[in-house]
Structure 1
């Protein structure tokens, strides 16, 4: 009979990148999708610790890559939030559900835009059909997040250009009916205001 302590070895192996130990755990009958007290799976723990060989092994061995923990994280969303392009690519290749939501109701591109992870944003928009105009629980699109939740600098300007190139709707407002160009104006982000104006937005 499997003991609780035995199952905890799985999570320790995932955290430490001990692939041989993890394989032994699975061979002993431990569920590959077992979740810890925070509802984290072994593949999520391995992803957080950048043990990519283990992430690949678990995905190939049938781990449910879409299971989310108590804060709505799974490997794909974790990669988007933390700018881990390698992990994001791995999860896309493994067939991750790109429509699953973060705890704030965004899809993966939402936090990637907010946090300035330009390579992740580019990857999502060029290799998936993720919704560039998804609206989160705050009533914000990725474009709005890119404007109001960062510093308005060159990286954010580049992200906004990429979003526009891939169909970001500049007429979608925040929860108060304010358009992106006005939000940029209020933040004092003249460069972003100019980008939106040049794109034909008034």
Structure 2
């Protein structure tokens, strides 16, 4: 079997969640970090497909967990984007690089805050030192995303409170100089405005 065929078989095994086939390919000397055309590794594919035993095995076998595909996905960012707490809890003990950026220039907590992934946000804030005030390519912090890009409902209120309790700066503005408080008021998100005021905004 050629090296290319071996890689194809290995990546297919990850997609199908076939642990035995993954092990067999590694025994034949496949590069654990080999990628397909989308620059996707076996561990990225297994993470997307929620094949958790495969993800755990690939970590233990030494896969590069930080490597990103063409869309900037890696296992850590996938867990944050897709609200996959199980995956996040598998990845965190392997010490992922928390500064890796999504395609919009956010860190993991940025999309999680925007999308209302309360448990992911809580896990990140209580178990990692991820940068809660990171600014993405368009000038948004996780706090701003949590306010502006969602519905202001109970999940967003909980995320705003979590962010503020863990050091989110209520004074950091968007690129037009608007504060979180101004934006919350513009949106009519009164509960969020109250949380910001209580945090000294």
Does structure 1 retain, via aligned residues, the 8 Å contact 2:133–2:169?
A: yes
Does structure 1 retain, via aligned residues, the 8 Å contact 2:170–2:199?
A: no
Alpha-carbon distance in structure 2 between the residues aligned to 1:186 and 1:132: 23
Give the alignment of 1:15-26 within 5 angstroms: 15-26=15-26
RMSD: 1.0
1:2-30 deviations in Å (ceiling 9; x for gaps) = 24233211111001110111111111121
1:94-153 deviations in Å (ceiling 9; x for gaps) = 111111111111110000000111111011011111011000001010000000111100
TM-score (norm 2): 0.97
- Aligned partner of 2:117 in structure 1 is 117
Offset at residue 75 of structure 1 (A): 0.1
Alpha-carbon distance in structure 1 between the residues aligned to 2:57 and 2:117: 26
SS of corresponding position for 2:170: coil
Does residue 1:128 correspond to 2:128, yes or no?
yes
- Aligned partner of 1:106 in structure 2 is 106
Offset at residue 199 of structure 1 (A): 2.4
- Aligned partner of 2:180 in structure 1 is 180
Does residue 1:62 correspond to 2:62, yes or no?
yes
User: How many residue pairs align between the two structures?
Assistant: 201
Structure 2, unaligned runs of 5 or more: none
- Aligned partner of 2:94 in structure 1 is 94
Structure 1, unaligned runs of 5 or more: none
Give the alignment of 1:26-175 within 5 angstroms: 26-175=26-175
SS of corresponding position for 1:12: helix
TM-score (norm 1): 0.97
- Aligned partner of 1:8 in structure 2 is 8
